[in-house]
Amino acid sequence: MAKKGLYANIHAKRKRIAAGSGEKMRKPGSKGAPKASDFKKAAKTAKKPKRGERARKSKAKRGY
């Protein structure tokens, strides 16, 4: 199984924080926090949305 990506980890931690885990996000530049190069690397491997998928998602959010 492939490792989860940077953004998946960030979203999972935000979800745990919202649930009351007591964790905190690391400050930029602190030890263990993702660097700018990590975000650039993640952007290179990001999948582009399928044709028309972006419009469907926005309509779903609005309740159409």
pLDDT value of residue 5? 86
Phi, psi values for residue 19, rounded to 5°: -80, -5
| Residues 28, 31: Cα–Cα separation, whole Å | 9
pLDDT value of residue 1? 61
pTM above 0.75, yes or no: no
Rounded alpha-carbon distances, angstroms, from residue 14 to 8, 19, 39, 40, 64:
10, 9, 17, 21, 28
Q: What is the pLDDT of residues 10-60, one digit of tens each?
A: 999 999 999 999 999 999 899 989 999 999 998 888 777 777 666 666 666
Tell me: pLDDT of 64 over 60: no
